[in-house]
Amino acid sequence: MKVFATCITLLALSGAAYGIQCFVCNSKMDSACQDEFNYDSPALQEAFTQTCDNVTEAFCRKSKIYLKEVPSGEVRVVRECAYQRREIYDCYQKRSEDYYIDVCQCDEDLCNSSPVLTLSLASALAVTLPFFARFL
Protein backbone atom coordinates (compact mmCIF):
# COMPACT_ATOMS: atom_id res chain seq x y z
CA MET A 1 0.00 0.00 0.00
CA LYS A 2 2.90 2.37 0.80
CA VAL A 3 4.40 1.71 -2.64
CA PHE A 4 1.07 2.57 -4.31
CA ALA A 5 0.75 5.81 -2.32
CA THR A 6 4.34 6.76 -3.15
CA CYS A 7 3.76 6.16 -6.87
CA ILE A 8 0.59 8.29 -6.86
CA THR A 9 2.43 11.09 -5.04
CA LEU A 10 5.34 11.00 -7.50
CA LEU A 11 2.97 11.07 -10.48
CA ALA A 12 1.11 14.05 -9.03
CA LEU A 13 4.34 15.94 -8.40
CA SER A 14 5.77 15.17 -11.84
CA GLY A 15 2.54 16.38 -13.48
CA ALA A 16 2.84 19.69 -11.64
CA ALA A 17 6.31 20.22 -13.07
CA TYR A 18 5.02 20.31 -16.64
CA GLY A 19 3.13 23.61 -16.67
CA ILE A 20 2.68 25.74 -19.74
CA GLN A 21 5.74 27.67 -20.85
CA CYS A 22 5.41 31.27 -21.97
CA PHE A 23 7.72 33.99 -23.10
CA VAL A 24 8.02 36.51 -20.25
CA CYS A 25 9.49 39.90 -21.11
CA ASN A 26 8.74 43.61 -21.38
CA SER A 27 10.02 45.72 -24.28
CA LYS A 28 10.48 48.69 -21.94
CA MET A 29 13.18 46.69 -20.13
CA ASP A 30 14.55 44.79 -23.16
CA SER A 31 14.01 45.86 -26.78
CA ALA A 32 14.41 42.22 -27.91
CA CYS A 33 10.82 41.73 -26.67
CA GLN A 34 9.31 44.00 -29.38
CA ASP A 35 7.15 42.61 -32.20
CA GLU A 36 10.22 41.83 -34.29
CA PHE A 37 10.71 39.05 -31.73
CA ASN A 38 13.04 36.27 -32.92
CA TYR A 39 11.36 33.41 -31.06
CA ASP A 40 13.58 30.81 -32.81
CA SER A 41 16.71 32.26 -31.22
CA PRO A 42 18.11 29.87 -28.58
CA ALA A 43 19.47 32.84 -26.62
CA LEU A 44 16.06 34.55 -26.48
CA GLN A 45 14.33 31.29 -25.62
CA GLU A 46 16.72 30.77 -22.73
CA ALA A 47 16.41 34.37 -21.54
CA PHE A 48 12.64 34.79 -21.85
CA THR A 49 11.06 31.32 -21.40
CA GLN A 50 9.36 30.72 -18.09
CA THR A 51 7.23 27.84 -16.82
CA CYS A 52 4.05 29.27 -15.35
CA ASP A 53 3.35 28.50 -11.68
CA ASN A 54 -0.30 27.54 -11.59
CA VAL A 55 -0.52 24.58 -13.96
CA THR A 56 -4.30 24.24 -14.13
CA GLU A 57 -5.21 27.87 -14.74
CA ALA A 58 -2.13 29.35 -16.40
CA PHE A 59 -2.05 30.56 -19.99
CA CYS A 60 0.17 32.86 -22.04
CA ARG A 61 -0.69 36.48 -22.82
CA LYS A 62 0.75 39.11 -25.11
CA SER A 63 -0.16 42.77 -24.65
CA LYS A 64 0.73 45.56 -27.05
CA ILE A 65 0.44 48.91 -25.28
CA TYR A 66 0.05 52.12 -27.28
CA LEU A 67 0.92 55.12 -25.09
CA LYS A 68 -0.68 58.38 -26.26
CA GLU A 69 1.07 60.82 -23.93
CA VAL A 70 4.63 59.89 -24.87
CA PRO A 71 5.81 62.38 -27.54
CA SER A 72 6.85 59.64 -29.94
CA GLY A 73 3.67 57.61 -29.41
CA GLU A 74 5.62 54.78 -27.78
CA VAL A 75 4.51 51.18 -28.24
CA ARG A 76 5.43 48.54 -25.65
CA VAL A 77 5.05 44.77 -25.81
CA VAL A 78 4.57 42.66 -22.69
CA ARG A 79 4.65 38.86 -22.86
CA GLU A 80 3.69 37.00 -19.69
CA CYS A 81 2.16 34.09 -17.84
CA ALA A 82 -1.41 34.94 -16.93
CA TYR A 83 -3.93 33.44 -14.54
CA GLN A 84 -7.21 35.34 -14.87
CA ARG A 85 -8.71 34.68 -18.29
CA ARG A 86 -10.98 37.06 -20.15
CA GLU A 87 -13.82 34.82 -21.29
CA ILE A 88 -15.41 34.75 -24.73
CA TYR A 89 -12.60 36.40 -26.75
CA ASP A 90 -9.02 35.27 -27.29
CA CYS A 91 -8.14 38.85 -28.25
CA TYR A 92 -9.64 42.04 -26.91
CA GLN A 93 -8.82 45.70 -26.39
CA LYS A 94 -8.66 47.89 -23.29
CA ARG A 95 -8.87 51.68 -23.62
CA SER A 96 -8.10 54.68 -21.48
CA GLU A 97 -7.54 58.37 -22.14
CA ASP A 98 -3.76 57.87 -21.97
CA TYR A 99 -3.33 54.52 -23.70
CA TYR A 100 -4.95 51.55 -25.32
CA ILE A 101 -3.90 47.92 -25.14
CA ASP A 102 -4.41 45.05 -27.56
CA VAL A 103 -4.37 41.81 -25.57
CA CYS A 104 -4.33 38.21 -26.82
CA GLN A 105 -4.34 35.06 -24.71
CA CYS A 106 -3.39 31.53 -25.78
CA ASP A 107 -2.97 28.03 -24.33
CA GLU A 108 0.08 26.41 -25.96
CA ASP A 109 3.75 26.49 -25.02
CA LEU A 110 5.46 29.70 -26.19
CA CYS A 111 2.36 30.77 -28.12
CA ASN A 112 2.79 34.44 -27.12
CA SER A 113 5.72 34.93 -29.51
CA SER A 114 3.90 35.92 -32.67
CA PRO A 115 3.61 39.51 -33.93
CA VAL A 116 0.25 38.60 -35.51
CA LEU A 117 -1.13 37.42 -32.17
CA THR A 118 -2.10 41.00 -31.36
CA LEU A 119 -5.49 42.12 -32.60
CA SER A 120 -5.12 44.53 -35.49
CA LEU A 121 -7.39 47.45 -36.25
CA ALA A 122 -8.44 45.81 -39.52
CA SER A 123 -9.53 42.60 -37.81
CA ALA A 124 -11.32 44.55 -35.09
CA LEU A 125 -13.27 46.47 -37.74
CA ALA A 126 -14.04 43.28 -39.65
CA VAL A 127 -15.54 41.76 -36.51
CA THR A 128 -17.53 44.81 -35.38
CA LEU A 129 -18.64 46.27 -38.74
CA PRO A 130 -21.52 43.77 -39.28
CA PHE A 131 -22.84 44.63 -35.82
CA PHE A 132 -22.90 48.37 -36.49
CA ALA A 133 -24.13 47.96 -40.09
CA ARG A 134 -27.58 46.90 -38.91
CA PHE A 135 -28.04 50.30 -37.22
CA LEU A 136 -27.34 52.28 -40.39
End-to-end CA separation in angstroms for the chain:
71
Q: Report the predicted TM-score, pTM, of the whole model to 2 decimal places.
A: 0.70
pLDDT, position 56: 79
Higher pLDDT, 89 or 80: 80
Tens-digit pLDDT profile for residues 26-76:
999 999 999 888 888 898 899 999 999 877 789 999 999 999 876 677 899
CA dist 40 → 46, 49, 135 (Å): 11, 12, 46
Q: Give the mean model confidence (pLDDT) for residues 98-106.
A: 94
Confidence label for 116 from pLDDT (cuts 50, 70 and 90): low
The rounded distance, in Å, linking the Cα atoms of 106 and 20 is 10
pLDDT, position 117: 52
| 3-state SS class at 6 | helix
pLDDT, position 88: 81
Strands 91-95 and 99-106 turn out to be antiparallel
Q: Give the mean model confidence (pLDDT) for residues 13-31.
A: 79
Q: Which residues contact 35 (CB under 8 A, 6 or more apart)?
A: 64, 77, 115, 118
pLDDT, position 37: 82
Q: Is residue 106 over pLDDT 60?
A: yes
